[in-house]
Structure 1
Amino acid sequence: MSFRPGSRIFSSFRPFFRQGQADARRRASTAPGPGRFAGFWNSPIGPKTVHFWAPVMKWGMVLAGASDFSRPAESLSFTQNFALMCTGAIWTRWCFVIRPKNVALAAVNALVFAVGATQVGRIYLYNKSLETTEGQVKGEGKELEAELKATAQKAEKAIRS
């Protein structure tokens, strides 16, 4: 086997380009019947295994995180959403390492990462907007303080004269 990545890809797709019996196999695999369902039921990532039920249950996390999109950013937890983002990233990678590779679980974990990253971004932008408004308020406060001092000095002069 060659170490070139391209040769591995082409050699894995070689059976699809063979002539003759490929059409018969293709028709047999798409035919409806108990064989297809039994194959899914007994597969290594079928409903009898955790590889099937983990992504099904994890959709709840994606839906809960997506429902928080309507909440204001001030009521969201940065640490919780950051943990959600890291969990999604780590488990997405892990889904491609384990055997059998579980693409459905990897997709759900990628969406968990996306939801967490979106919420962390919203919280970050909200905190940045607070910092800029605090800076503006401090600047306006200094201006008002200077105006008040000037007004107080005018009032003292008016009282003395």
Structure 2
Amino acid sequence: MSVLSTLEKLERMHKSLLELAHKKTDIIKANDIEALDELIKMEQAHVAAITTLEQQRQLMVTDYLRAKGIAYTDNPTVAELIDAIDSEEEKQQLIATRERLLTLLTELKVQNDLNQKLVYQSLQFINIQLEPFRPARPDAFNYSGDEVRGQSNQKKVTYFDSQA
């Protein structure tokens, strides 16, 4: 398996993950918790496969750079590989695939940010709806004996006590 084929597989997996992210937006809007749960399971499987492919990619790039006697970073990048490749055709293929993958990653980040905001708004809406059913806070009814008789321990602020 070559680095290019691994990058193409990563591209396909990220495209599929982006499709799931778009579906997730619709599911969140529809407030379908069961479908959301199933979709999250599919996302986790995609992420696991992407992680495996990314590890393979790093290993292949490391092996290639080591074989050429080129110093590389701890996590060798495709950019480092592109710089090391002699064949102009392979370089162009890697550059094109890398650019498509970077575009997909940007789109995926934008979509995931949107989904996160939608989930947050949904949670806020649920909290607002549940507020009337929550018991009152205990500190709201913290009366001492003087307050019950109409004498508060708090200093009364009058108009003359305030500062402009």
> What TM-score do you get using the length of structure 2 for normalisation?
0.40
- Which has the higher Rg, Structure 1 or Structure 2? 1
Higher-helix-fraction structure = 1
Q: Which structure is higher in RCO with an 8 Å CA cutoff and minimum separation 6? A: 2
